[in-house]
Amino acid sequence: MRGMGGMGGMGGLMAQAQKMQQKLAKVQEELKQTEFTGEAANGAVKVVITGGHECRSIKIDPKVVDPEDIEMLEDLVMLAFNNAQQTCRTESEAAMNKAVPLPAGMKLPF
């Protein structure tokens, strides 16, 4: 029967999609455990986060602590955190694209 041939193709596509989903889930779980470091002021302020966006640590070199300028320290912590977030995004996207290669111009929706 003609219609049955299409069903086999659909089943193959569904199996392929399920494999891709499993690969992505594995990579996402690995990324949740991965640590990403962001720095500011040439490493004087370091923030470590996980791929699950949990902060693991903040390290501040005493040389950048000025009681008269707490705002600068706050800015450095924010910059280091934002740098860690960007590193996390970039490396996560690369890991996902490696796990499930997509045609040029296409991106995963997360």
CATH code of the domain covering residue 50: 3.30.1310.10
**What is the number of helices (H) and of strands (E) in the chain?**
2, 3
Tokens matching residue 22: 């499993």
Tokens matching residue 65: 């602590």
This prediction's pTM: 0.74
Give the whole-angstrom CA distance, residue 49 versus residue 36: 5
pLDDT band at 19 (very low <50, low <70, confident <90, very high): confident
Domain-embedded: residue 64: yes
Domain-embedded: residue 35: yes
Domain-embedded: residue 72: yes
Residues 41-89 have pLDDT tens digits of 999 999 999 999 899 999 999 999 999 999 999 999 999 999 999 999 9
Domain-embedded: residue 3: no
Give the whole-angstrom CA distance, residue 42 versus residue 62: 14
Cβ atoms 48, 84 nearer than 8 A: yes
Q: 79: domain range?
A: 29-94
Residues 31-40 have pLDDT tens digits of 999 999 999 9
Give the whole-angstrom CA distance, residue 81 versus residue 97: 24
Say how many domains are in the chain: 1
Domain-embedded: residue 58: yes
